[in-house]
């Protein structure tokens, strides 16, 4: 049988994705980041799993080297790749927010925003008709306001612990975020029956 290749995001989302497979009774054991392996093949299911950085999942799927992928909506919004969004898996749920220092007085306009998501931030502030300068950082964006680089950050928030520890508060909510099942446009047609079968199994449990 030809392999169905699925690209999975490393990190928090991976554990939840593997739980999902368990729930639909696919026993894809030993898939973890610790093993350092990047490709896992399961002959019984005719499936191949790839572990990649979350940002790369839509790239692999767009080019068709992976048929399907599990990617956060944050990544899909930021990268806007040519992929089909099949299903909201309701995994790794969090929110995309604007956060500012706790002691910031309300009503002062935001001039500078630090974020890993420049496109999302830019379109959000454009819609609010606020001209802002976006500074792209690659991680630990909370440092922006702490060091005085920016007035605010745009980032994903799950529990809010990180914000609290860095004395930031949520000022605005941009959108809810969750993991999506995405498909390559050609695979979606050429491997349609296998993808539809997987889809209906997942739909039955979420």
Q: Which residues bind another protein (CB under 8 A)?
A: 62-65, 84-88, 180, 184-190, 192, 196, 199
For residue 147, the minimal CB distance to another protein (Å) is 33
Instruction: Report the distance separating Cα 152 and Cα 168, nearest Å.
Output: 9
List, in sequence order, every beta strand (DSSP E) within 64-151. 68-72, 84-88, 94-101, 112-115, 133-136
- Which residue lies nearer to another protein by CB, 130 or 185? 185
- Which residue lies nearer to another protein by CB, 35 or 200? 200
Identify how many contiguous H helices and E strands the chain contains and give both numbers. Answer: 8, 11
For residue 106, the minimal CB distance to another protein (Å) is 31
**Environment class of residue 140 by beta-carbon count within 10 Å: exposed (0-12), middle (13-18) or buried (19+)?**
middle
- For 113: left if phi > 0, alpha if psi spans -120 to 50, otherwise beta; the answer is beta
Instruction: Report the distance separating Cα 102 and Cα 205, nearest Å.
Output: 40
For residue 201, the minimal CB distance to another protein (Å) is 13
Instruction: Report the distance separating Cα 174 and Cα 8, nearest Å.
Output: 25
- 12 by DSSP, 3-state: which? helix
- Which residue lies nearer to another protein by CB, 88 or 171? 88
- Which residue lies nearer to another protein by CB, 20 or 110? 20
- Which residue lies nearer to another protein by CB, 38 or 186? 186
For residue 184, the minimal CB distance to another protein (Å) is 5
For residue 84, the minimal CB distance to another protein (Å) is 4
Instruction: Report the distance separating Cα 92 and Cα 6, nearest Å.
Output: 17
């Amino acid at each position: 049988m030809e392999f169905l290749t699925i690209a999975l995001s490393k990190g928090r989302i991976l554990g939840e994705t593997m739980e999902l497979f368990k729930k639909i009774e696919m026993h894809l054991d030993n898939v973890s980041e610790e093993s350092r392996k990047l490709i896992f093949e399961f002959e019984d299911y005719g499936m191949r799993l790839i572990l990649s950085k979350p940002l790369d999942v839509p790239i692999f799927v767009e080019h068709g080297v992976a048929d399907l992928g599990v990617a956060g909506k944050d990544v899909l919004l930021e990268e806007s790749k040519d992929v089909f969004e099949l299903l909201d898996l309701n995994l790794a749920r969090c929110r995309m927010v604007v956060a500012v220092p706790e002691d910031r007085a309300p009503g002062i306009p935001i001039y500078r925003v630090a974020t890993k998501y420049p496109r999302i931030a830019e379109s959000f502030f454009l819609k609010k008709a606020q001209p802002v300068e976006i500074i792209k950082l690659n991680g630990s964006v909370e440092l922006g306001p702490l060091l005085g680089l920016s007035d605010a950050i745009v980032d994903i928030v799950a529990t809010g612990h990180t914000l609290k520890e860095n004395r930031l508060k949520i000022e605005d909510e941009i959108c809810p975020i969750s993991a999506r099942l995405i498909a390559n446009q050609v695979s979606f047609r050429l491997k349609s029956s296998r993808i539809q079968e997987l889809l209906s199994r997942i739909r039955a449990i979420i």
